[in-house]
Structure 1
Amino acid sequence: MKSLVKITKLFLGVVVALLVVGMTTTSFASSHYKYRVTRTTFDKVSVGSNNGNGGTSLKQLEKDFGSPKLKSSRTVDNVRATMLVYSGVDNDKNAAAIVELINNKVIYKELTGYQYSL
């Protein structure tokens, strides 16, 4: 459990840094990149247990959202975790969907920079 917390903190730090840098450059949301993530589809992503059981699979994410803008993997205490970042939620270049996977299953998800409309 401690290794999972370490991985999550590490990834979140990297994501925040990348998003801050990315939002200040035009390359973050390049014109050739097609946004495929919507709030509705992201809400359907299931978060599994610490070992991934019950979480949406990597294969399903790739089918629904296509290739991520950023993919990073790390191993901490013999646990391999992968982080995917999809930019442009609901076609907003400043919004991103972040998912973390273990055993190719989602264990964590978050929206950042997303503006809720009422």
Structure 2
Amino acid sequence: MVKVDRNGSELRVVLTGRQTLAEAEGTRDQLMAALLTPEMSSLVLDCTSVSDLDVSFLQLLLAARKMGQARSIAVSLSAPAAGPLADTLARAGLARPGDGGKGWFDPFWAGGQ
């Protein structure tokens, strides 16, 4: 499930529940629509309520970030990756689990851009 809230030039996309290949097309469409919103300078992705995900979801997040960069939109996570998101990142080789918060190979996963 995807919920979108706007506050001025910031758009917050709340992603919840299952985010696997089966849901990827719908999630992609929602993220791309969010990135095409006029007069937006920041997109915050809230993944804290995602309960099940696979590598296709990671690809969608990275694609949204790349599209945001191309459109001069700052794309970030609302909080450092934790729970299922952190577990999937580790399984995909994009993080070192148990490294005291320093295990992110890309600052994006720690809530950066």
Specify if TM > 0.5.
no
Higher RCO, Cα 8 Å, sep 6+: 1
From the CA coordinates, give the structure whose radius of gyration is larger: 1
TM-score (norm 1): 0.31
